[in-house]
Amino acid sequence: MKLVIFGCGNIAHRIAKSCKLVEGLELVGFASKDIDKAKQYSQLYECKKYGDYDYFLNSDVDAVYIATYNNSHYDLIKKCLENRKNVICEKPMLFDSKQINEMFDLAKANNVLLMEALKSVFLPIIIKTKQMIKDKTIGEIKSIYASFMRNGNHDDNHWINIKETGGALKDLGSYTIGTMNYLMDVNPEIISIETNETDTKADTIAHVELRYGNVIGKSSVSNSIDKDTYLLVEGDKGYIKIDNFWKSGNGEYEVNGIKHELNEECISDFYYELKHFKDLVDNKIIESPIMSKKRSLDIIKITNKE
C-alpha cells in the first residue's frame, strides 16, 4: 500500500517512524501547503515524492493519512474521497455527526475506506483489557474511568483554544471517550458534561459522566493542567490500571487483593492502527470493524455535546 502523509507538524514525525515499521506499507511522501517543509520531511524519511495536496490526489497513491489541523479535515477528507483515495484521519476527525455521516456516505459511494485514527483502541494492552473484561477476570465491572490531563502550553490563538475547532473535550476527549466506548461495547448514555467553555473560548477542562448499562463511566480531560493520565477499570473482585493508556504496553491488575503486572507488546503507539488500516485497504474493506462509522458517531455525540 502506497501512503502519503498530509501535514508536516510534530505528529507527522511519529506517524512516519511507525509507517517504516509496518510490512507492506510504503511511505511515498509528504504533502503540505508549505512545499519546502514537505520536501524537508520527505528527504528526512527517504521518501520519493513531496508536493501540495492536489499533487498527490492526482497520483497513484492508495491512501492518505491526514495529520493537519482540525479545521482542515473536512475539506481534505472530501477531496481525498472524491479522488478515490483511502483515508485515515487524525482525531477528532470531524466536528459533528452531520459531517461524519456525509463523509462516510461519500466513502461508500466511491468504494474507499474512511477511518478515524484512534490509536488507543488498537494497542495490544487495550485489546487485552477488553478480553479480561469479557472473561470477568476482575469480576463484574462496576465503573470505568479515563483521564488525560496535560498542559500543552498553547497560546490563546492556537486552534485548540478556538471554540469552533478546538477544546479539550473534542481533542483529548476523543481518546478517553473512544477508549471507554470500545471497552464497554455498549451504547453510552450521557449523564452529565461539565466544561469551562465560554461564549468565545473553547474548553480547557472537561468532566463527563456516562452510563454503560449498569456501569458508570467517567472521563476528565484538560489541555491546561498536568495531572492524571490513566485508565482504571474497577470490578467487584479487583481492578485494571494502565498509565498513559493511549501509548502504553504496561499496566497492572489486581484480583482478590493480589497484584499482577500487565506487559503487552508495544512496537510503537501508531503501529497497530496503521497495520489495521493497511490490512483493510489490501483486502478492499471500506469500513473498519473497530473504528467504524458508529464508533466515530458515538464519540462525537458526546464530545460535541449533541
**pLDDT tens profile 218-265:** 999 999 999 989 999 999 999 999 999 999 999 999 999 999 999 999
Over residues 161-178, the mean pLDDT reads 91
Q: For residue 157, what pLDDT is reported?
A: 79
In a domain, 11, yes or no: yes
pLDDT at 153: 85
Q: Are strands 141-149 and 229-235 parallel, antiparallel or unpaired?
A: antiparallel
> Would you say 225 and 205 are in contact if contact means Cβ atoms under 8 Å apart?
yes
Q: Which residues have CB under 8 Å from 92's CB, separation 6+?
A: 70, 116, 170, 171, 174, 299, 300, 303
What is the distance between the alpha carbons of residues 72 and 39, in angstroms, rounded to a whole number?
Answer: 21
Q: What number is the average pLDDT over the span 103-131?
A: 98
Supply the range of the domain harboring residue 183. 124-265
Q: Flag whether 244 is in a domain.
A: yes
* CA distance linking residue 208 with residue 218, whole number of Å: 6
Task: Match 459522566 to its residue by C-alpha cell.
Answer: 209
Give, to the nearest 10 degrees, the angle between helix 124-134 and helix 173-184: 40
Domains of the chain: total = 2
| Residue 306 placed within a domain | no
Q: Is residue 297 part of a domain?
A: no
Claim: this prediction has a pTM higher than 0.75 = yes
Question: For position 159, what pLDDT does the model report?
Answer: 79
Q: State whether 184 and 249 are in the same domain.
A: yes
Task: Report which residue type is found at 280.
Answer: L
Q: For residue 161, what pLDDT is reported? A: 84
Q: Residue 295: inside a domain, yes or no? A: no
pLDDT at 81 over 80: yes
